[in-house]
């Protein structure tokens, strides 16, 4: 038994610094298995791919199509994001216990709305996109709505959780003083919610950009389409043109959102006394006012027509559903493979981030290199990582898990790094001063305090990965995802329906389990909720 496991067995009170490294143990069996599933075949291609990164194609034709693809992807992301935030705020308020309690005096309806919202949330945006495509055809609005539905339900859940967690003292005071329910709620809960709403919705925009790219990979428009086609035709220089463009866009967006978050969501922390009263509010209003015409112009430019969503096309003539054949699917193996793939990917992503940071700690350029690597991981949709891995590995759940893990490592790594930079470095400096090495100082000085919130966030991430596992179905990862894509291409709607329900059920169970795990982890944390960690931001 390792010291960490011993610590875990002793109960949640003991937070051993090694906790953050525990998930990385999955590397040992993985390293044993990898030689068995790798085939040397594609090293030449991987070399070509890597060297093409230094000389992307600058052909004006390629540039033009990359830029127009990027425009479409960003447009879809922006519209989907705006729609999901609006929908999420409305539904979040509608499913908040505090709101129902204040307005009607009972919270029963809030619970029901919450349960209803679990269904759109449990289905990945890609599946929404592919289903809508079957119903309304190839419309630019399909990708936008595919993002709005699950994201809106996610935002709603987070908003209602945030609302219900706010202190209600001022609300009670206002009510006692005779203020009507609506104004009292807005006045008491609006201001404390706003910074959290801004911070979280900024994060959702980053997710929306990733999702819009992914939807493109499956033919719903934008740069993702070019990325997949150029990768499939092994036109690596053209591929890198798109990748660099996307990388620059993503980093700029992350930087911009970081700035805005600091300015609007954490006022007074850095610029105390410098801003005028109401200054950030006025800025917010201006930004909102500028966003409206922008969104309108984007919708106009993309040809998004909400009315087209109502023109449902008849489903094809279907043979009578063959439920016997559906029941005969290897459900156990499908669900089992999906779960194994999810756990493997989650352990890989959660465990590798701190391990890599520790490994490069002594070298000054190491952290910078890791950040660049993680940015690439975040940028690449998992199916493209999987396609690239297939040059070296055989198809299967391990390849799928690696693709999902590497993508999510990009997300988790950035979060860990940002959070650990927010934690004061007193303990680390003290350890360094006392003569311990840079790695140990980092591990004991910073990571040990972050272990619980970080692992709690990891539990959330596992839940996201479970939902995401459908997207690596195309590399023959043999879980529910690949069966689902196969059913879609065979237009077997009975099988599709059964698989969708199974997926929804599995993700709901997964969500419940990960919530419990997260609560247990946070319950023992000395300082729950360091900024950004442990908060329920999926995607």
User: Position of tokens 């592919």?
Assistant: 130
Q: Tell me how far, at minimum, the Cβ of 187 lies from other proteins, in Å.
A: 5
Distance between CA atoms of 95 and 103, rounded to whole angstroms? 12
Residues 6 or more apart whose Cβ sits within 8 Å of residue 340: 397, 401
Q: Give backbone dihedrals phi and psi of 268, rounded to 5 degrees, phi first.
A: 85, -20
Under rule CB under 8 A, residue 134 binds other proteins: yes
Interface residue with other proteins among 4, 25, 34, 229 (CB under 8 A) is: 229
Query: Between residue 374 and residue 393, which ones bind other proteins under the rule CB under 8 A?
Result: 390-391
- Smaller CB distance to other proteins: residue 307 or 327? 307
Q: Rounded to 5 degrees, what angle do the CA atoms 264, 168, 118 make? A: 75
* Least gap, CB of 305 to other proteins (angstroms): 5
Residue 337 touches other proteins, criterion: CB under 8 A: no
Query: Which C-beta is closer to other proteins: that of 89 or that of 417?
Result: 89
Q: Can you tell me the distance from the alpha carbon of 6 to that of 18, in angstroms, rounded to the nearest whole number?
A: 11
| Interface pick for other proteins out of 187, 429, 505, 512 (rule CB under 8 A) | 187
- Residue 242 or 377 with smaller CB distance to other proteins: 242
Q: Provide the β-strand partners of residue 393.
A: 38
* Selected range binding other proteins among 97-105, 151-159, 450-458, 487-495, rule: CB under 8 A: 487-495
Cα angle, residue 532 at apex, residues 528 and 533 outer, rounded to 5°: 50
Binding residues for other proteins, rule CB under 8 A, total: 79
Smallest distance from other proteins to CB 225, Å: 5
CA distance 423 to 47: 40
Write the CB contacts of 367 (distance below 8 Å, at least 6 apart in sequence).
357, 360, 361, 417
CA distance 481 to 318: 23
**514 near 460, Cβ under 8 Å?**
yes
Quick one: which of 100, 218, 454, 503 contacts other proteins (CB under 8 A)?
Answer: 218
Does 186 help bind other proteins (rule: CB under 8 A)? yes
In the complex, minimum distance from the CB of residue 268 to other proteins, in angstroms, rounded to a whole number: 10
Residue 474 binds to other proteins (criterion: CB under 8 A): yes
Do 152 and 121 touch, CB atoms closer than 8 A?
A: no
Main-chain phi, psi angles of 337, to 5 degrees: -60, -40
- CB atoms closer than 10 angstroms to residue 526: 8
Give the residue, chosen from 488, 500, 502, 504, that forms a contact with other proteins under the rule CB under 8 A.
Answer: 488
Going from the C-alpha of 466 to that of each of 335, 341, 513, the distances in angstroms are 11, 8, 12
DSSP state of 393: B
Q: Which is nearer to other proteins, 25 or 37 (CB)?
A: 37
Task: Report if residue 442 touches other proteins, rule: CB under 8 A.
Answer: no
Residue from 33, 138, 165, 523 in contact with other proteins (CB under 8 A): 138
- Binding residue for other proteins, selected from 97, 121, 228, 518, defined by CB under 8 A: 228
Kindly state whether residue 181 participates in binding other proteins, applying the rule CB under 8 A.
no
Task: Tell the smallest beta-carbon distance from residue 295 to other proteins (Å).
Answer: 5
Least distance (Å) between residue 217 CB and other proteins: 8
Q: Decide if 478 contacts 466 (C-beta within 8 A).
A: no
Contact segment (CB under 8 A) with other proteins among 136-144, 443-451, 506-514, 528-536 equals 136-144
Q: Least distance in Å: CB of 314 to other proteins?
A: 9
Q: Are 422 and 507 spatial neighbours (Cβ–Cβ below 8 Å)?
A: no
Interactions with other proteins, residue window 66-105 (CB under 8 A): 82-83, 85-86, 89-90
* Contact of 110 with 95, CB cutoff 8 Å: yes
Among 304, 386, 442, 455, binds other proteins (CB under 8 A): 304
Helix (H, G, I), strand (E, B) or coil at 41: helix
Contact positions with other proteins (CB under 8 A) in 264-283 = 277-278, 280-282
Nearer to other proteins by C-beta: 133 or 462? 133
Residues 111-130 that bind other proteins (CB under 8 A): none
Interface with other proteins, residue 516, by CB under 8 A: no
Residues 6+ apart with CB under 8 A from 462: 342, 343, 346, 350, 510, 514
User: Closest separation between CB of residue 80 and other proteins, Å?
Assistant: 11
Least distance in angstroms from the C-beta of 383 to other proteins: 11
CB of 112 to other proteins, least distance (A): 23
**Residues within window 312-331 making contact with other proteins, judged by CB under 8 A:** 313, 316-319, 322
Judged by CB under 8 A, the residue of 136, 181, 260, 440 near other proteins is: 136
Q: What φ, ψ does residue 49 adopt, rounded to 5°? A: -60, -50
Report, in Å, the least distance between residue 216 CB and other proteins: 8
How far is the CA of 440 from the CAs of 358, 432, 451, 460, in angstroms?
Answer: 8, 9, 15, 27
Cβ(455)–Cβ(17) under 8 Å?
no
Residue from 230, 419, 507, 530 touching other proteins (CB under 8 A): that is: 230
């Amino acid at each position: 038994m390792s010291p960490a496991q011993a610590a875990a067995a002793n109960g949640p009170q003991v937070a051993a610094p090694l906790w953050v490294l525990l998930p990385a143990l999955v590397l040992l069996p993985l390293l044993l298995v990898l030689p068995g599933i790798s085939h040397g075949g594609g090293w030449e291609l991987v070399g070509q791919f890597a060297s093409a990164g230094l000389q992307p194609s600058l052909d004006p034709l390629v540039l033009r199509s990359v830029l127009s693809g990027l425009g479409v992807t960003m447009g879809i992301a922006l519209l989907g994001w705006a729609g999901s935030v609006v929908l999420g705020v409305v539904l979040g308020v509608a499913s908040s216990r505090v709101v129902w309690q204040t307005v009607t005096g009972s919270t029963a309806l809030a619970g029901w709305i919450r349960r209803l919202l679990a269904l759109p949330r449990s289905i990945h945006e890609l599946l929404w996109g592919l289903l809508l495509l079957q119903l309304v055809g190839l419309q630019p609005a399909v990708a936008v709505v595919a993002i709005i539905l699950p994201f809106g339900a996610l935002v709603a859940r987070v908003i209602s959780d945030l609302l219900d967690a706010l202190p209600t003292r001022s609300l009670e005071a206002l009510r006692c003083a005779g203020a009507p329910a609506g104004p009292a709620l807005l006045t008491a809960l609006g201001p404390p919610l706003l910074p959290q709403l801004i911070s979280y919705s900024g994060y959702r925009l980053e997710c929306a950009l990733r999702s819009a790219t992914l939807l493109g990979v499956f033919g719903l428009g934008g740069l993702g389409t070019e990325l997949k086609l150029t990768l499939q035709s092994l036109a690596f220089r053209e591929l890198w043109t798109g990748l660099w463009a996307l990388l620059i866009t993503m980093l700029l967006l992350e930087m911009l959102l970081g700035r805005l978050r600091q300015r609007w969501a954490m006022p007074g922390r850095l610029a105390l006394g410098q801003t005028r009263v109401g200054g950030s509010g006025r800025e917010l209003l201006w930004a909102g006012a500028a966003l409206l015409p922008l969104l309108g112009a984007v919708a106009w430019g993309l040809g998004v027509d909400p009315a087209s969503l109502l023109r449902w096309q008849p489903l094809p003539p279907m043979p009578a559903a063959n439920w016997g054949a559906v029941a005969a699917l290897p459900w156990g193996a499908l669900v089992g493979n999906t779960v194994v793939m999810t756990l493997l990917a989650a352990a890989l992503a959660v465990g590798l981030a701190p391990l890599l940071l520790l490994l490069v700690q002594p070298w000054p350029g190491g952290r910078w290199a890791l950040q660049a690597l993680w940015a690439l991981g975040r940028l690449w949709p998992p199916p493209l990582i999987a396609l690239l891995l297939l040059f070296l590995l055989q198809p299967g759940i391990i390849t799928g898990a690696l693709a999902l893990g590497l993508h999510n490592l990009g997300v988790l790594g950035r979060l860990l790094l940002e959070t650990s930079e927010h934690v004061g470095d007193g303990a680390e400096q003290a350890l360094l001063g006392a003569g311990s090495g840079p790695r140990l100082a980092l591990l004991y000085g910073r990571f040990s305090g972050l272990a619980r919130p970080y692992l709690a966030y990891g539990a959330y991430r596992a839940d996201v990965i479970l939902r995401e596992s459908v997207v690596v179905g195309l590399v023959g990862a043999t879980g529910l995802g690949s069966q689902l894509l196969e059913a879609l291409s065979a237009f077997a709607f009975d099988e599709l329906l059964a698989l969708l329900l199974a997926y929804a059920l599995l993700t709901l169970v997964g969500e419940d389990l990960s919530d419990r795990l997260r609560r247990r982890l946070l319950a023992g944390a000395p300082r729950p909720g360091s900024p950004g960690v442990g908060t329920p931001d999926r995607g």
